[in-house]
Structure 1
Amino acid sequence: MAGKVHTFEEVANHNSKEDCWVTISGKVYNVTPFLEEHPGGDEILLMNTGKDATTEFEDVGHSSDAQEKMKEFYIGDIDTSTLPAKQQYTPPAPSSTANRDSGDSFNILL
């Protein structure tokens, strides 16, 4: 059953114990009624609001029973065009001092 399509901003605004939505694999779940039952505690669900929690969900290795239970909380899909761009890690450029120091150390070792 296809549900309503929600914007990222709309889902991110549901981020409290009284109203908690999470996004996993492009689907939106209202997990508010499950907060007290969640074996990992409500904090972990609350920490995963306002972002795509797919990686965190998969990293835990949820059982097939847990995945089946999720169907109870499904309320729609995320509008992927509203998702923020993922930021990529860019390592800092080495400073010229660091390069000179490492070269001096190398020469001393020789």
Structure 2
Amino acid sequence: MTRIITAKIQPDIFKLIESGVKRFEVRSEDFNNASIIRYRSSETGETLGYYEINEYQSEIHAGSADLLALIASVSADVIDDCGLLDVPNSVYVTEIGYRIDDLEAWMEGQKQ
């Protein structure tokens, strides 16, 4: 079964994903065996796009904004604004894969 998770994202950060600059997703919660992430605008709620995500995730200590910023390809201020340093133990990281332009066709292909 395909599991889709949703992440709110600022449109300017989503552009980093589209351009391939931002290649890793960092979250305070695990990815729950998801294979797709749906990005929604934090401003409008509009779906910005669907991406495959690597089923393998890493759990890392969230002690350094600079380290998380480097992994996530965003500024340390963004990491701080997202509250990732307030996570008591660890954060979860996975690689962002290919964009899925036709979700229905992608899911149908997974059934074969």
- The answer to whether TM tops 0.5 is no
Return the index of the structure with the highest Cα Rg: 1
**Higher-strand-fraction structure:** 2
TM class, shorter-chain normalised?
under 0.3
TM-score by length of 1: 0.24
**Higher-helix-fraction structure:** 1
